[in-house]
Amino acid sequence: MDLQPVWDWFRVLHATTGIKLTIFYDAFDRLRFLNGFLTSIRLMALCLACSVAIGIVGAWVQGSQLKLLRTVTQAYIQFFRNTPPLVQLYFFYFALGSYLRITNAAGLEVPIVSNFVWAVICLSLYAGSFNIEIFRAGIEAVPKETVEAAEALGYSRLKAYAYVILPLAFRISLPALNNNLVNLVKTTTIAYAIAVPEMLYVANQIWSDELNVAEMMNVLLVIYVSLVGMLVYAMGRWERALRIPGYTP
Amino acid sequence: MLQLVIFGIAAIASFIVTTGPLAAQTLDKVKQRGVLVVGTKADYKPFGFRDTSGAIVGFEPDLARDVASRLGVRLELEPVVSSNRMQFLQQGKIDLMLATMNVTQERRQTVGIIDPSYYASGVNVLAIKKAALKTWEQLKNQKICAIQGAWYNKVVAEKYGAEIVAFRGQTESETALLQGNCIGWMYDDTAFLERLGDPKWSAFEMPLETILDEPWGAAVKLEERDGPWGQFMAKTITEWHRSGKLIEVEKKWSIPPSAFLKKVSAETK
């Protein structure tokens, strides 16, 4: 499909109204904005998946018999929940990153972990710490009798968690989880501080070059509102699909 | 969805409407208030940086002080960075910008850039010696640290295919370079001069030819470029060149003599 007429329309829009959307008619800006958009999507998808996984595993570990394991989980939650994500990002990238280096073939010392991976690690751990608490709230809302019934039927702790407790707890946790995931999607923008070329970073570059701050701000606004809207819609659908008629914990 | 579209359109429209006729003239406003607010860099040694007490000092703050004393008002310095300096001026947060800004055609349409220029710099790369750079073409697909908002980021990315990794300020770029996140740091050549003499930077060099030589312009609001405030600044800068003030301030901060200043002061004499 040839999109040239569309791009040209935006060029005419600029010439006639002064609304300067170079991301449509300037090939260089278009490519970098598209790459920024895709980087954002990748970052969001990876962080969402990892943070939910951290939440599920962490909530299970929290109920462990081993005191040491519980203490470690608790320390992790307190550390990541109680410090600003931007500070964590700087800490990982600039402080930890400076120790994790190897010498490459050309004899240069290069970092082992790229800025994108640091962003995924940091944001996942950050949102994951909240998710653990969210799932814990769900687990504690599962009736004690149900857990005892599962134990009476011979379920091990892990099996009871996977087949009985988590499916019920997950349903209870969904609204709160929804909130946290929306927050996570928006928080991915701070990755621009360590030069991950996501959407905000690219938009910032474009408006510095083209001086179209207002237009790019509006583009960002529309895209983020749409992305969050889609996430909320999908989560809402999921919540309804998982509903058990008549079940109120 | 429809509401969203309407909201978006309204937001765009409101931006267009706000760039209407100007209110009070800056020159009158400054005299009335008794304070001149100048936007300068605070992370660009020696042109604008913080001393041990936290005060902003340097080449540009000295020039700003001279403007304030000519007007007989108190000076207030507002730290700016490349990506917000023009917006600060448009919003009226600062009355005058002296912030290492290269003059480009695009920028002339956005802010009121004063002629003549007061300084000039080009673009260069502070590179790791081991990378053995010789030409700009070698930057293709190499990671190069840079500052967000610099106008040449796009030019170098487009022309030489360098992968630009841009940070918010000098400190972040500097740290990223020292930690090996990029093979070089692209910035104004003037910013590197002092570093090359520093033992901390002994593993680095400036092997490429300086490109994209551009003058630095002071700026006022676009509407006031030809008004009393713009004319006052044009006259002031001409006098700086004529009296040798710029060369004197350059010496004070031990900046290597720039060819640009020598040329202009020879012309104006």
pLDDT at A150: 93
For A209, the closest of B15, B154, B179 (CB atoms) is B154
User: Per the structure block, which two tokens stand in for B54?
Assistant: 């936290």
Q: How many CB atoms lie within 10 A of CB A214?
A: 18
The confidence score (pLDDT) of residue B3 equals: 63
B17 touches chain A (CB under 8 A): no
- Residue A95 and residue B16: Cα distance in Å, rounded? 44
**Which of 1.10.1130.10, 1.10.3720.10, 1.10.10.60, 3.90.550.60 would CATH assign to domain A43-197?**
1.10.3720.10
CB contact under 8 A, B179 and A111: yes
Radius of gyration (C-alpha) of chain A in whole angstroms: 23
Q: Which of B12, B110, B157 sits opposite A211 (nearest CB)?
A: B110
Identify the pLDDT of residue A248. 64
B63: exposed, middle or buried (Cβ count in 10 Å: 0-12, 13-18, 19+) = buried
First to last CA, chain A: 53
Q: Are B103 and B217 in contact (CB under 8 A)?
A: yes
Residues B98-119 have pLDDT tens digits of 999 989 888 898 899 998 999 9
CB contacts of B164 in chain A (<8 Å) are: 205
pLDDT tens digit at each of 269 positions of chain B? 556 666 666 665 555 544 444 455 888 899 999 999 999 999 888 899 999 999 999 999 999 999 999 999 999 999 999 888 999 999 999 999 999 998 988 889 889 999 899 998 889 999 998 888 899 999 999 999 999 888 889 889 989 999 999 998 888 898 899 888 899 999 988 888 778 878 888 889 988 888 888 899 999 999 999 999 999 999 999 999 999 899 999 889 888 777 788 888 777 66
Which is nearest to B136 in space by CA: B154, B120, B159? B159
Which CATH number is correct for B25-118+217-268, 3.30.565.10, 3.50.50.60, 3.40.50.2300, 3.40.190.10? Answer: 3.40.190.10
* Count, residues in chain A: 249
d(CA A208, CA A212): 8
Q: CA-CA distance, A97 to A100, in Å (whole number)? A: 5
For A210, the closest chain B residue by CA position comes to B106
Question: Which pTM was predicted?
Answer: 0.76
Q: What is the pLDDT of residue B50?
A: 92
Task: Kindly report, residue by residue over A94-136, the tens digit of the pLDDT.
Answer: 988 888 888 877 777 788 888 999 999 999 999 999 999 999 9
From A3's Cα to the closest Cα of chain B, the distance in A is 22
Q: Which residues of A touch B (CB under 8 A)?
A: 18-19, 28, 94, 97-98, 101, 106-111, 115, 193-195, 201, 204-205, 208-211, 213-215, 218, 221-222, 225-226
- Residue B137 DSSP symbol: G
Is A109 strand, coil or helix?
Answer: strand
Is B2 part of the contact surface with chain A (CB cutoff 8 Å)? no
**In terms of Cα–Cα distance, which of A132, A177, A204, A122 is closest to B82?**
A204
Residue A120 tokens, joined: 């995924």
Contact B167, B148 (CB under 8 A): yes
Region(s) of chain B under CATH 3.40.190.10: 25-118+217-268, 122-213
At a CB cut-off of 8 Å and minimum separation 6, what does B29 contact? Answer: B95
CA A233 to chain centre: 16
Residues of A in contact with B109 (CB under 8 A): 211
pLDDT at B230: 92
Output the CA–CA distances (angstroms, integers) from residue B217 to A107, A170, A174, B147, B196, in the order listed: 42, 60, 56, 19, 26
Q: Where are the domains of chain A?
A: 43-197
Alpha-carbon distance of B269 to B266, in angstroms, equals 6
Residues contacting B259, CB < 8 A, separation 6+: none
A25 alpha-carbon distance from chain centroid: 31
How confident is the model at residue B7, as a pLDDT?
60
Tell which B residues from 163 to 192 touch A, by Cβ distance under 8 Å: 164-168, 172, 175-176, 179-181, 183
What single-letter amino acid sits at A89? L
Q: How many whole angstroms separate alpha carbon B81 and alpha carbon B149? A: 8
- Higher per-residue confidence, A2 vs A221: A221
Q: How many CB atoms lie within 10 A of CB B132?
A: 13
User: Average pLDDT, whole number, for chain A?
Assistant: 91
- Class of B122-213 in CATH: alpha beta
- pLDDT tens for A10-55 read 989 988 888 889 899 988 899 999 999 999 999 999 999 999 999 9
ipTM field: 0.73
A231 pLDDT above the threshold of 80: yes
C-alpha angle with apex B102: B185 to B149, nearest 5 degrees? Answer: 55
* Run of H or E residues at B145: strand B143-147
Nearest by Cα to B66 from B191, B217, B225, B243: B243
Q: Are the beta carbons of B8 and A218 closer than 8 angstroms?
A: yes
Q: Are A222 and A154 in contact (CB under 8 A)?
A: no
At A52-61, the pLDDT tens digits run 999 999 999 9
A97, A113 Cβ separation under 8 angstroms: yes
| Cα gap B155→A209, rounded to integer Å | 9
CA–CA separation, A130 and B124 (whole Å) = 45
Contact between residue A201 and residue A195 where contact means Cβ atoms under 8 Å apart: yes
In the three-class reduction of DSSP (H, G, I as helix; E, B as strand; rest coil), residue B49 is classed as strand
Tell me the mean pLDDT in the region A158-169.
Answer: 90
